[in-house]
Amino acid sequence: MAAIQGAGPFSPSPLAKSRFARIVLETNATRIGLHGVDFRSSFLKPIKAMANDCGAAVSGKNLSQMAKTVGKATNIVWHKCSVDKCDRQQLLEQKGCVIWMTGLSGSGKSTLACALSRGLHARGKLTYILDGDNVRHGLNSDLGFKAEDRAENIRRIGEVAKLFADAGIICIASLISPYRKDRDACRALLPERDFIEVFLDVPLEVCEARDPKGLYKLARSGKIKDSITTEGRELFPPKCYG
C-alpha cells in the first residue's frame, strides 16, 4: 500500500496534482510493470514485464471445463476466448491493473484519481476511473451507506475493476472503502502485483475542514446516517507504507 500524506488547506495546483500522480506512479512503477522508467519521457515504451505475464496467462488457460456451482447458479462453465488478457495488453502496450484509492471523504481521492488518469492518458496509457460517487448513480444506485451496503458497493466495484484490468486497462478505483476486509476481498480477485492500494493519509480534521459537499456538517448535525466521519480514525490504519 502507498500512502499520500495530507497536504495543507490549500487548493492543489495542476503542478501539485501531477506531482502527486508521479509519486504514486514512481512508488508503484515496478508493480505495474514499468521498470527503470524515466517518468519525464519514456512511458510509452513497451513493457518488459508483460512477457512474463503473458506466460502466466497462457498457463491460466487450463481453466476447468467442468460445470460448477457458482454462488446461486448451477451448471456454470467458464467460456474461454482465443483473445485473452495477454493479447489485449500487447495491443495496448500496457499492463491491465487496478489502482485502488482509499480514504475519508474529502481526502482527495477523486482529485488524485483524475490527476493520475490525466498523467497516464498524456503518456498514451488507457485508464478508466471507477469513482464511488459516480457508480452509485447507476450500477450501485440501490445501495446506501450501512456497513453491509458499503461492502456490497465495494464488492461490485472490485469485480468491475477486475474486468477492466482483464481488458488491459489501468483501472483507478476511488472509494472511501473504509473496511480493510472489503478491500482485501477486492485484492484477492487479482494477482497480487495487479492490485495497488493507495491510502490517502489525510487527517479527519483536514477532511472535515474541506467538507466540499457539506457531508461532515450534515453528519455532525445528525442529518445523514451511517457516516464514518466520527469513527473514521479507527477504520483506517494510522500509517500505510508502500
Ligand X SMILES: Nc1ncnc2c1ncn2[C@@H]1O[C@H](COP(=O)(O)OP(=O)(O)O)[C@@H](O)[C@H]1O
Ligand Y SMILES: Nc1ncnc2c1ncn2[C@@H]1O[C@H](COP(=O)(O)OS(=O)(=O)O)[C@@H](OP(=O)(O)O)[C@H]1O
Distances in Å between the alpha carbon of 184 and those of 5, 81, 102, 145, 207?
A: 22, 29, 12, 19, 24
Strand boundaries in the chain, DSSP class E: 2-5, 68-70, 73-76, 97-102, 127-131, 170-175, 195-201
- Closer to ligand X by Cβ: residue 34 or 112: 112
Interface pick for ligand X out of 10, 40, 41, 64 (rule CB under 6 A): 10
Cell numbers for 183 = 478491500
Is residue 123 within 8 Å of 37, Cβ to Cβ?
A: no
Is residue 132 within 8 Å of 110, Cβ to Cβ?
A: no
Is 177 one of the annotated active-site residues of the chain?
yes
Residue 153 found at the interface with ligand Y (CB under 6 A): yes
Name the phi and psi angles at 184, rounded to 5: -65, -35
- Closer to ligand Y by Cβ: residue 135 or 165: 135
What residues numbered 93-112 form the site for ligand X, per CB under 6 A?
103, 105-111
Part in contact with ligand Y (CB under 6 A); list of ranges 19-27, 47-55, 106-114, 185-193: 106-114
Residue 157 CB, shortest distance to ligand X, in Å, is: 14
DSSP letter at 36 equals T
Residues designated catalytic: 177
User: Where do contacts with ligand X occur on this chain (CB under 6 A)?
Assistant: 7, 10-12, 103, 105-111, 210, 212
User: Where do contacts with ligand Y occur on this chain (CB under 6 A)?
Assistant: 105-106, 109-110, 132-133, 136, 145, 150, 153-154, 175-178, 213, 215, 224, 226-227
